[in-house]
């Protein structure tokens, strides 16, 4: 069935990769890879020409990946709009994920393993946009929380309201940073956000432990 919109005429071939698999198998794997990968958004596909049009999360340009028979093998050719900036990293990612998908198709993988892989791809997804200020802020706030947790052991009066307010603030900043990065986002920095979340967890433990120690000392 054809679901491809009107093809763009101003495209040029920018990358080609050969696979040791029939064209039909490669096309099926290509379509599945683009549909489920967090790094690409499918616009449409044409089963007759074995081609898929897709976008990158960081822009609105439409690219086309075509499968061509190459004897008993097949080749995947990527066409990009004329004048688009170099996206070789994205092309390499597509070819790498397609290779992984073809390997997975030849191996029986439990459904729960596939679900976990998709989940972690979603969690760690990033894009080629500028660095997110929210991601930077999440690192700063989380590190400040660690310093506050360490220094709070020396205070004389417990302040549970302040502790819980700051913990909530840390995770709100991390949550916003997580939401604006990754697939569909215009800014990058998902790895920084994940590091910030880990630091925020450490800060939370320190703040709670410090609060308990101060509370015990204050009670006496």
| Confidence band for 57, pLDDT divided at 50, 70 and 90 | confident
Domain boundary among 90, 117, 144: 117
Residues 107, 145 within the same domain: no
**146-190 confidence digits (pLDDT tens):** 999 999 998 888 899 999 999 999 999 999 999 988 777 788 889
Asked whether the predicted pLDDT for residue 192 surpasses 70, the reply is yes
Q: What distance in Å separates the CA atoms of residue 185 and residue 137, rounded to the nearest whole number?
A: 17
Q: What distance in Å separates the CA atoms of residue 61 and residue 55, rounded to the nearest whole number?
A: 6
Half-sphere exposure of 213 (CA within 13 A, CB side): 13
Is 62 among the domain residues? yes
Is 140 among the domain residues? yes
Residues 142, 215 within the same domain: yes
**Mean pLDDT value of segment 16-26:** 91
Output the furthest CA–CA distance in the chain (Å, rounded).
Answer: 84
For the ranges 26-40, 154-168, 195-209, the maximum mean pLDDT occurs at 195-209
**Mean pLDDT value of segment 70-74:** 85
Instruction: Kindly report the three-state secondary structure assignment for every residue of 57-81.
Output: CCCCCEEEEEEEEECCEEEEEEEEE
pLDDT of 213 reads 92
Instruction: Say what the pTM is.
Output: 0.53
The whole-chain average pLDDT of the chain stands at 87
**98-143 confidence digits (pLDDT tens):** 998 888 776 656 667 767 777 777 787 777 778 899 999 999 999 9
Residues 160, 200 within the same domain: yes
pLDDT of 106 reads 66
Is 63 among the domain residues? yes
Residues 111, 137 within the same domain: no
pLDDT of 145 reads 95
Residues 64, 142 within the same domain: no
Residues 155, 71 within the same domain: no
Long-range pairs, 133-137, Cβ under 8 A, ≥24:
133/187, 134/173, 134/176, 134/177, 134/180, 134/181, 134/187, 134/189, 134/193, 135/177, 135/181, 135/187, 135/188, 135/189, 135/190, 135/192, 135/193, 135/196, 136/189, 136/192, 137/173, 137/177
Beta strand 51-55 pairing with 62-70: antiparallel
Residues 88, 151 within the same domain: no
Residues 25, 60 within the same domain: yes
pLDDT of 108 reads 59
Residues 34, 59 within the same domain: yes
Domains in the chain, number: 2
pLDDT of 9 reads 56
Is 50 among the domain residues? yes
Asked whether the predicted pLDDT for residue 6 surpasses 80, the reply is no
Question: Domain containing 137: what range?
Answer: 133-219
Helix (H) or strand (E) run with residue 90 in it: helix 88-105
pLDDT of 129 reads 78
* DSSP helix/strand/coil, 10: coil
């Amino acid at each position: 069935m054809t679901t491809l919109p009107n093809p763009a005429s101003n495209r040029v071939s920018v990358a080609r990769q050969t696979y040791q698999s029939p064209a039909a198998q490669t096309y099926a794997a290509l379509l599945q890879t683009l549909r489920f990968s967090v790094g690409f958004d499918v616009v449409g596909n044409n089963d007759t020409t074995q081609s898929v049009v897709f976008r990158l999360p960081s822009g609105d340009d439409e690219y086309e990946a075509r499968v061509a028979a190459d004897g008993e093998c097949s080749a995947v050719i990527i066409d990009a709009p004329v004048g688009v900036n170099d996206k070789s990293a994205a092309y390499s990612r597509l070819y790498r994920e397609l290779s992984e998908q073809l390997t997975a198709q030849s191996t029986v993988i439990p459904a729960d393993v596939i679900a976990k892989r998709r989940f972690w791809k979603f969690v760690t997804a990033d894009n080629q946009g500028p660095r997110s200020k929210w991601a930077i802020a999440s690192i700063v706030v989380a590190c400040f929380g660690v310093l506050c947790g360490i220094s709070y052991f020396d205070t004389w009066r417990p302040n549970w309201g302040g502790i819980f307010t700051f913990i909530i603030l840390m995770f709100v900043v991390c949550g916003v940073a997580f939401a604006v990065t990754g697939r569909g986002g215009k800014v990058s920095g998902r790895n920084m956000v994940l590091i910030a979340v880990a630091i925020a967890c450490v800060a939370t433990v320190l703040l709670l432990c410090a609060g308990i120690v101060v509370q015990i000392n204050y009670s006496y």
